[in-house]
Amino acid sequence: MATYTLPDLPYDYSALEPVISGEIIELHHDKHHAGYVKGANDTLEQLAQARETDQWGTINGLEKNLAFHLSGHILHSIYWHNMTGDGGGEPLERDGTGELADAVAESFGSFARFKAQLSKAAATTQGSGWGVLAYEPVSGRLIVEQIYDHQGNVGQGSVPILVFDAWEHAFYLQYRNQKVDFVEAMWRVVNWQDVAARYTAAKQRADTLLLAP
Ligand code: MN
């Protein structure tokens, strides 16, 4: 039995148009995300085989593949729910409680400054990567991370709550080489209710890491 499974999208392929075309979402979910799920499961099987046979010649490659595919699976699973056709605006107007809006203001100075940092981090990824808003449990602050591929340049323990996919497969069919325009458009589909729920859950999870201040 497979350990990881491809989650269904929470909406139709075309639900995020015109910001993201249905063609992109269909390929992105059904082919790219599915590939990471398969890759993670295949790698776990290969690691089991290595343990079974006590053959460790490929251990470095297998551990890298596990980090890549597992992180790809997790980030995409968050990405789909971070977006909605009824999204956009700012967290203060959309998340109900104001807790996330307060955390953004405390951590970044203002929503506008946070937006500028995450936009810049996503749009300037070299090669493939992500711009991510994460809860950092030691400080209790929100931080922006610029992730290489799916797994590099990550502060251990940080919990992603809003992720911008900046791989070319996320936008190229529609935006061509205009990654800056794609990132700017992404703000129109952000599901702040989902981000706020992830913020609350991340703060609770911090206690279980034995890291919280
Ligand atoms: Mn992707």
Residues 54-95: pLDDT tens digits? 999 999 999 999 999 999 999 999 999 999 999 999 998 776
What pLDDT, on the 0 to 100 scale, is given for residue 209?
67
| Centre of ligand 1 from the C-alpha of residue 134, in Å | 18
| Centre of ligand 1 from the C-alpha of residue 202, in Å | 23
Q: Which domains does the chain have, with CATH numbers?
A: 20-81 (1.10.287.990), 91-211 (3.55.40.20)
CA distance 51 to 56: 8
| Centre of ligand 1 from the C-alpha of residue 76, in Å | 6
Between vectors from CA 95 to CA 91 and to CA 96, what angle results, nearest 5°? Answer: 130
Question: Model-level pTM?
Answer: 0.95
| Centre of ligand 1 from the C-alpha of residue 33, in Å | 7
What number of CA atoms fall less than 13 Å from residue 126's CA on the CB side? 2
| Centre of ligand 1 from the C-alpha of residue 167, in Å | 6
| Centre of ligand 1 from the C-alpha of residue 152, in Å | 15
Q: What percent of the chain has pLDDT over 70?
A: 95
Q: Please give the residue that has the higher pLDDT: either 85 or 213.
A: 85
What pLDDT, on the 0 to 100 scale, is given for residue 213?
52
Low-confidence winner among 55-59, 91-95, 136-140, 162-166 (lowest mean pLDDT): 91-95
| Centre of ligand 1 from the C-alpha of residue 212, in Å | 31
Q: Is the dihedral of CA 179, 24, 42, 202 positive or negative?
A: positive
Cα distance from N-terminal residue to C-terminal residue, the chain: 39
Backbone φ and ψ of 160, nearest 5°: -70, 130
| Centre of ligand 1 from the C-alpha of residue 80, in Å | 10
| Centre of ligand 1 from the C-alpha of residue 168, in Å | 8
Band of residue 12 on the pLDDT scale cut at 50, 70, 90: very high
R_g of the chain computed on alpha carbons: 18
| Centre of ligand 1 from the C-alpha of residue 52, in Å | 33
Token pair 């890759």 in the structure block, residue: 39
By the CB criterion, residues less than 5 angstroms from ion ligand 1 are 165, 167
Mean pLDDT over the full length of the chain: 95
Entry field: residues in the chain: 213
CA separation (Å) from 60 to 49, 57, 177?
A: 15, 8, 34
| Centre of ligand 1 from the C-alpha of residue 139, in Å | 29
> Given a cut of 60, is residue 211 above it in pLDDT?
yes
| Centre of ligand 1 from the C-alpha of residue 173, in Å | 13
Three-state SS for the chain is CCCCCCCCCCCCHHHHCCCCCHHHHHHHHHHHHHHHHHHHHHHHHHHHHHHHHCCCCCHHHHHHHHHHHHHHHHHHHHHHHHECCCCCCCHHHHCCCCHHHHHHHHHHCCHHHHHHHHHHHHHCCCCCEEEEEEEECCCCEEEEEEEECCCECCCCCCEEEEEEECCHHHCHHHHCCCHHHHHHHHHHHECHHHHHHHHHHHHHHHHHCCCCC
| Centre of ligand 1 from the C-alpha of residue 57, in Å | 30
| Centre of ligand 1 from the C-alpha of residue 169, in Å | 6
What pLDDT, on the 0 to 100 scale, is given for residue 103?
96
Backbone φ and ψ of 167, nearest 5°: -70, 150
> Given a cut of 90, is residue 170 above it in pLDDT?
yes
| Centre of ligand 1 from the C-alpha of residue 88, in Å | 20
